[in-house]
């Protein structure tokens, strides 16, 4: 009941955000996406036992508010996972605001509904993301597991990214490159009960714009642990995916 209460509160907050524009038509935009991944990698953890998954979701945005849902389906059975199972559903509510011309702040909450093992418990993380609108779009992100974590429950990432327009050579194509480093502060339920640098990730993807609304994206990610505590918990991993996005 507590988790559904949080979800209900999120929906109510979204509705409250629409109140100031009640006299005008509300413009809603968003996207629907689905992709095939060779494994489910999250914060360096291989959650699908190196088996392929389907991941997809929907994002709806209006007036700075975004309501999203995300899902993971297991495609191939493993030692403890069965094919065809939807073992994770996330519901995310966030609000983005501009801090002048140079920065954007996004705050919100993620509700994780988990079904990987019989002992899994659903949990919640509140988050804040600060992006500088400058070269490489440096972004600091912080998550706090206020639900199931017994210790601090904090997790941080710092990432940079850049996109290159390749339309001159490949036609309606963009190359995206990114790098990320994370720090765990006793997020004991989701990551581990230690304080230290967790992992780094290098990512690359191509966005092939097939139509004005449809984009096909091959994705590659490399992840590896940093601290000794992290290396005890996660292995060096690579993951590849093919994702299809419809924008509206």
The ranges assigned to domains in the chain are 2-247
Per-residue pLDDT tens over the stretch 15-69: 445 445 444 568 999 999 999 999 999 999 999 999 999 999 999 999 999 999 9
Looking at 1.10.3720.10, 1.10.10.10, 2.40.160.40, 2.40.110.10, the CATH number of the domain 2-247 comes to 2.40.160.40
DSSP of 60-98, one letter per residue? EEETTEEEEEEEEEE-S--SS--TT-EEEEEEEEEEEEE
- For the chain, how are helix, strand and coil distributed in percent, rounded to 5? 10, 55, 30
- By the 8 A CB rule, do 117 and 105 touch? no
**CA 139 from chain center: how many Å?**
14
Per-residue pLDDT tens over the stretch 182-232: 999 999 999 999 999 999 999 999 999 999 999 999 999 999 999 999 999
Beta bridge mates, 61 = 29, 66
- Count CA atoms within 13 Å of residue 61 on its CB side: 13
pTM value is: 0.89
């Amino acid at each position: 009941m507590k988790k559904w209460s949080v979800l209900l509160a999120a929906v109510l907050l979204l509705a409250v955000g629409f109140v100031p524009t009640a006299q005008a038509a509300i413009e809603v935009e968003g996207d629907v996406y689905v992709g095939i991944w060779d494994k489910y990698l999250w914060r360096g953890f291989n959650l699908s036992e190196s088996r392929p998954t389907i991941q997809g979701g929907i994002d709806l945005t209006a007036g700075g508010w975004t309501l999203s849902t995300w899902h993971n389906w297991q495609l191939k059975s493993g030692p403890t996972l069965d094919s065809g199972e939807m073992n994770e559903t996330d519901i995310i509510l966030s609000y983005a605001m501009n801090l002048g011309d140079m920065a954007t702040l996004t705050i919100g909450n993620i509700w994780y509904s988990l079904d990987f093992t019989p002992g899994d418990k659903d949990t919640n993380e509140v988050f804040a993301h600060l992006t500088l609108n400058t070269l490489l779009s440096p972004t600091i992100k912080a998550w706090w597991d206020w639900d199931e974590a017994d210790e601090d429950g904090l997790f941080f990432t710092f990432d940079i990214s850049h996109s290159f327009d390749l339309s001159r050579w490949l036609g309606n194509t963009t190359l995206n490159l990114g790098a990320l480093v994370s720090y765990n502060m006793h997020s004991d339920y989701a990551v581990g009960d230690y304080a230290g640098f967790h992992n780094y990730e290098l990512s690359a993807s191509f966005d092939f714009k097939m139509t004005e609304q449809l984009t096909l994206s091959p994705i590659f990610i490399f992840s590896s642990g940093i601290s000794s505590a992290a290396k005890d918990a996660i292995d060096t991993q690579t993951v590849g995916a093919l994702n299809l996005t419809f924008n509206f």
